[in-house]
């Protein structure tokens, strides 16, 4: 699936991933390709981006919105960091 993580200033990550793990409104959410369309809040915590079962990238967010539509996932956050803050 195609993933884009963006802040108002820049695109932090744009690329393919097989598996995405985020902290959502009601707990941890694991998104795989062909996930049902969805819009939800993202809570403070890590976003894990995986390919072939291996961690490709890990970023930290304070809050944001996640949208799944078809095979595209967009995450919009005020701030994204490579380390926990």
36's tokens: 């049902």
44 with 76: CB under 8 angstroms?
A: no
Domain ranges for the chain = 2-80
Q: DSSP label at 25?
A: T
Whether this model's pTM surpasses 0.75: yes
Phi-psi region for residue 5, left (φ > 0), alpha (ψ -120 to 50) or beta? beta
How many of the other CB atoms lie within 10 Å of CB of 64?
Answer: 22
- Chain centroid to Cα 30, Å, comes to 10
Tens place of pLDDT for every residue, the chain, 85 residues?
999 999 999 999 999 999 999 999 889 999 999 899 999 999 999 999 999 989 999 999 999 999 999 999 999 999 999 877 6
CB 35 within 8 A of CB 68: yes
What CATH number does domain 2-80 carry, 1.10.260.40, 3.40.50.300, 2.60.15.10, 3.40.50.2300? 2.60.15.10
């Amino acid at each position: 699936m195609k993933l884009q993580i963006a802040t108002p200033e820049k695109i932090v990550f744009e690329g393919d991933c097989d598996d995405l793990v985020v902290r959502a409104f009601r707990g941890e959410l694991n998104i795989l390709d062909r996930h049902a369309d969805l819009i939800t809040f993202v809570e403070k915590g890590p976003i894990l981006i995986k390919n072939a079962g291996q961690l490709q990238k890990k970023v930290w967010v304070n809050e944001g919105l996640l949208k799944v539509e078809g095979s595209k996932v967009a995450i919009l956050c005020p701030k994204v960091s490579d380390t926990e803050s």
